[in-house]
Amino acid sequence: MRNIELKVDDDSFWNDKEQIIKYIQLEDFENANTLIQSKIKFENNMIDKNGDKSELVCNQHFIFRAYWHLFEHFIKCWTHLRSSPDDSWNHLQDCLLAIDVLDLSVNGNDFFDSNMLYNYLLKIESLFPYTMFNSVEYVTKKATCSICGNNPFSKECNHIKGDLYYGKRCYVTIDEANIIGMSLVENPANKKCIIFVEYDKKNVKYSPFGLVWQLSFLKPLFDFTIIYKNVSMTRDKYLKYLRNIEKNPKLPPKRIFQVEYKKITQLNKIGFKIQNT
């Protein structure tokens, strides 16, 4: 609700941002992580230092910290794509949550390229086999505001959930609740509430995470397009494509990379084409 205006006095933000993106694109995750951790430490220090002096400064640093966290989770998401895609999903959701914080800043869209990152992450999300999620319906009887400790419905509490107050994000803790029911929904409140998919971790490419596995052979933070095609493929043809990818796992980013196959989890015969651009 309370939009925060961000200001950067020196070039260090832009330089570090550019450097981190470059490291990620070159898949030098170790250096990227070191730089990200130093930035997170710096933002934490700034929040502690200004804790009771300037609310605006604290909130600004909170937003910057969320930006660095976004890249931290993105690296984890990308590195897990091939080995444990279900962990990768959790980190992808953390990236999207970090973008929620960036949206609190007035000039966020241009400052962090958050729109572009958001669309890119949504495309990665669409390759996962999760289409239905668990979701709970409940009646809250007692709740507490994280900032003032009062009931969020009482007149004493002026804090709006999701807003920043002295470098802290307001949330509501549910102390007492009755669960009414559980449902399977397409658009849940929390996308981490997945239905577990059992698969052979040694053979991810033949699992419902086949699309995600293929994505891992592309370069991170380079766009790819998904073209929907009404083409169904035979199993043999599909496996042939997979074998070809296996032979050339490190495709250069600009080279056209085309795969047509049937999405395993989809019942209708829709084929996909992933193309690195």
| Distance in Å, CB of 201 to other proteins, minimum | 30
- Show the tokens assigned to 100: 């929620």
Window of 36-44, 59-67, 87-95, 132-140 that interacts with other proteins by CB under 8 A: 132-140
Window of 54-62, 85-93, 130-138, 235-243 that interacts with other proteins by CB under 8 A: 130-138
In the list 56, 97, 160, 251, the residue contacting other proteins (rule: CB under 8 A) is: 160
Helix (H) or strand (E) holding 181: strand 172-185
Q: Closer CB to other proteins, residue 94 or residue 199?
A: 94
- Show the tokens assigned to 124: 């990665």
| Distance in Å, CB of 150 to other proteins, minimum | 11
* Cβ neighbours, 10 Å, residue 170: 17
> Which among 30, 2, 183 has a CA at the least distance from the CA of 103?
2
Q: Closer CB to other proteins, residue 46 or residue 68?
A: 68
Using CA atoms, how far apart are residues 94 and 85, in angstroms rounded to an integer?
Answer: 14
Using CA atoms, how far apart are residues 269 and 179, in angstroms rounded to an integer?
Answer: 39
Instruction: Quickly list DSSP for 95-133.
Output: HHHHHHHHTTBTTHHHHH-HHHHHHHHHHHHHTSS---E
Using CA atoms, how far apart are residues 269 and 277, in angstroms rounded to an integer?
Answer: 25
In the list 15, 53, 138, 201, the residue contacting other proteins (rule: CB under 8 A) is: 138
Q: Closer CB to other proteins, residue 50 or residue 128?
A: 128
Using CA atoms, how far apart are residues 6 and 204, in angstroms rounded to an integer?
Answer: 43
Q: Closer CB to other proteins, residue 167 or residue 220?
A: 220
* Cβ neighbours, 10 Å, residue 266: 12
Contact positions with other proteins (CB under 8 A) in 42-101:
none
Q: Closer CB to other proteins, residue 47 or residue 274?
A: 274
Contact positions with other proteins (CB under 8 A) in 197-226:
221-223, 225-226
Assess 152 for contact with other proteins (CB under 8 A).
Answer: yes
Q: Are 194 and 130 in contact (CB under 8 A)?
A: yes
In the list 66, 77, 117, 127, the residue contacting other proteins (rule: CB under 8 A) is: 117
| Distance in Å, CB of 137 to other proteins, minimum | 5
Helix (H) or strand (E) holding 42: helix 29-49
Q: What is the DSSP letter of 201?
A: G
Site of interaction with other proteins (CB under 8 A): 1, 3, 17-18, 21, 103, 113, 116-120, 122-123, 135-141, 143, 152-153, 157-162, 172, 180-183, 185-189, 221-223, 225-226, 277
